[in-house]
């Protein structure tokens, strides 16, 4: 059993590596070699990466790909995607190509409101509390002016401050439910700073409020924190075309294809087991762009999955319909994103990816991300209702299998050609490689 490493955070990077290698791995020399192989050769750049988080020992790289050929609101895009999963970039590119000559993708932002809350306990008369909050609201505004002045100049700031009575859910529990506009910043630090000041004002003013009894003055602030659930920070993306234009490389007719697509979405709306996998595919596209642009994919994931449950059960994030012989396919999701601040100004590749996207505003990035998710879902569901998902996915996975089997370049070339018209399976590739090597 290994022992804890006291003072680990105070060790140098070399010392951290030595401790981890010797205490937690069977081959310390090999461990050191692997970790150092992934250091950036540019020492200045490596130092920048080291300072992003704590206790860094190396870098874990993800492939950065480009999905070209997107047409969004009549503007062409090549979308950067950072992801390790085979077929995601190819599928997005295929969907982009399919819809390009049908008018492309249409996207619009429906709202940009973000949320934060001060959670507190109050043991007193609720009517007194309501009057108190109304009385000190101007103080809330004035006490946060130094925090909001720069954001206000850009058109943002604190939009609303509301008291919410949650005592039916938890005894003596109340909230200050606040909404914010953060413009091109994701705004987490801004929101949290404002909330902590609101909490301080709440406690201070309660102690001085003459209409409160002694017990009512003792408001207990439990926590002050932004919410990653932003149901009013919404974006919609969609595609549409006449049903007879839905021609895909398959024996299925456009009419049957459209009908199957709609039915597949209906199933994902009512069946959580299907909906989770359905939405995971959507997040393949969304997370890849979120990562590539330096945004917080964990926050986005949490908010989107909560939104998928807003009607009381977990269901599809996408929708499809046929009306007047027009096939329409769309997505509506909450996205709190930023194009300034955080990694967007620090990570060289993030800055480059945003440049490739035309230096979008936060609202424009919301639209691009929603389109990436919709494209991914169209490609996945299209495969499911026609050839099946494995045919295309395993084709893209072929190189991973060959690398696992340590095939050389000539073997990869031969077997890639061999499997062009065959179903790819791990055993199939293994047998074909053994046959090739045995002549």
Active site residues: 85, 280, 296, 393
**How far apart, in whole angstroms, are the C-alpha atoms of residue 303 and residue 396?**
30
Q: Where are the alpha helices (DSSP H) in 293-361?
A: 297-307, 348-356
Pair 192, 116: CB distance under 8 Å = yes
**How far apart, in whole angstroms, are the C-alpha atoms of residue 345 and residue 331?**
30
**How far apart, in whole angstroms, are the C-alpha atoms of residue 148 and residue 182?**
10
**How far apart, in whole angstroms, are the C-alpha atoms of residue 164 and residue 1?**
50
**How far apart, in whole angstroms, are the C-alpha atoms of residue 131 and residue 163?**
10
Give the closest residue to 202 by CA, choosing from 121, 116, 113. 121
**How far apart, in whole angstroms, are the C-alpha atoms of residue 194 and residue 187?**
11
CA distances from 323 to 155, 243, 257 (A): 40, 9, 15
CA distances from 79 to 10, 285, 292 (A): 40, 10, 9
Q: Where are the alpha helices (DSSP H) in 144-239?
A: 145-153, 188-208, 214-217
Backbone dihedral region for residue 423 (phi beyond 0: left; psi -120 to 50: alpha; all else: beta): beta
Q: Where are the alpha helices (DSSP H) in 59-144?
A: 88-100, 126-143
**How far apart, in whole angstroms, are the C-alpha atoms of residue 344 and residue 331?**
26
Pair 346, 52: CB distance under 8 Å = yes
């Amino acid at each position: 059993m290994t022992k804890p490493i006291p003072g680990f955070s105070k060790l140098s990077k070399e010392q951290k590596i030595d401790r981890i290698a010797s205490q937690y791995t069977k081959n310390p020399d090999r461990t050191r070699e692997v970790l150092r192989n992934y250091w950036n050769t540019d020492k200045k750049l490596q130092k920048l990466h080291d300072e992003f988080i704590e206790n860094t020992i190396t870098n874990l790289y993800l492939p950065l790909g480009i999905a070209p050929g997107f047409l969004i609101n009549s503007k062409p895009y090549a979308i950067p995607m950072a992801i390790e999963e085979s077929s995601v970039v190819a599928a997005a590119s295929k969907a982009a190509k399919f819809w390009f000559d049908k008018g492309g993708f249409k996207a619009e932002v429906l709202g940009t409101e973000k949320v934060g809350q001060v959670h507190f306990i109050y043991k007193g008369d609720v009517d007194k509390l309501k009057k108190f909050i109304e009385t000190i609201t101007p103080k809330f505004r004035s006490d946060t002016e130094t925090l909001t002045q720069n954001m206000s100049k850009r058109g943002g700031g604190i939009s609303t401050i509301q008291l919410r009575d949650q005592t039916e859910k938890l005894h003596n529990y109340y909230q200050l439910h606040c909404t914010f506009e953060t413009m091109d910043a994701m705004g987490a630090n801004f929101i949290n700073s404002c909330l902590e000041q609101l909490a301080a004002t709440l406690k201070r003013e309660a102690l001085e409020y003459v209409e409160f009894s002694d017990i009512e003055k003792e408001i207990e602030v439990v926590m002050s924190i932004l919410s990653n659930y932003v149901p009013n920070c919404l974006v919609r993306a969609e595609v549409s075309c006449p049903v007879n234009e839905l021609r895909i490389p398959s024996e299925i007719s456009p009419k049957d294809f459209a009908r199957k697509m709609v039915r597949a979405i209906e199933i994902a709306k009512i069946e959580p087991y299907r909906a989770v996998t359905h939405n995971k595919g959507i997040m393949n596209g969304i997370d890849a762009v979120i990562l590539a642009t330096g945004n917080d994919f964990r926050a986005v994931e949490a908010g989107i999955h909560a939104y998928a449950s807003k009607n009381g059960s977990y269901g599809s994030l996408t929708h499809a319909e046929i009306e007047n012989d027009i096939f329409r396919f769309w997505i509506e999701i909450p996205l709190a994103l930023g194009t300034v601040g955080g990694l967007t100004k620090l990570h060289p590749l993030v800055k480059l990816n945003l440049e490739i996207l035309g230096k979008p505003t936060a609202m424009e990035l919301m639209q691009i991300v929603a389109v990436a998710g919709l494209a991914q879902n169209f490609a996945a569901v299209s495969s499911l209702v026609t050839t099946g998902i494995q045919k295309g996915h395993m084709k893209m996975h072929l190189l991973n299998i060959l690398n696992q089997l340590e095939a050389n370049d000539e073997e990869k070339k031969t077997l890639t050609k061999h499997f062009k018209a065959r179903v790819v399976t791990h055993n199939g590739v293994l047998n074909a490689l053994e046959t090739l090597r045995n002549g």
